[in-house]
Amino acid sequence: PFHALQANTLQVREGRIASPRGEGPELSIAEFMAAIGRDQIEAKADTLPASTTAEERYKNYTTIAMSIPHT
């Protein structure tokens, strides 16, 4: 349902996925999963170090404070 949009332009909030600019549909996560034929979400990789705390993970996903500069 979001093929025309870039992943980084989508917003996930309160169990719903939508484009904050109103450029596409707004679906619950369950509706989205059904639309793509999946019944579970699986994380295949973690880009954070294994020692990362829950607080650091939250900070990483809500700010750019933990971004590691490219080399």
Each residue's pLDDT tens digit, 1-47:
787 787 778 888 889 999 888 777 899 999 999 999 999 888 777 78
pLDDT at 64: 65
Q: pTM surpassing 0.85?
A: no
Task: Using the structure block, give the residue that is written with the tokens 């019944």.
Answer: 39
Question: Is 70 or 51 the better-scoring residue by pLDDT?
Answer: 51
What does the alpha-carbon distance between residue 68 and residue 5 come to, in Å, rounded to a whole number? 26
pLDDT at 30: 93
Going by C-alpha positions, the residue among 45, 68, 44 that lies closest to residue 56 is 68
Going by C-alpha positions, the residue among 36, 38, 61 that lies closest to residue 48 is 61
Question: Is 21 or 52 the better-scoring residue by pLDDT?
Answer: 52
Positive or negative, the Cα torsion across 35, 62, 9, 27? positive
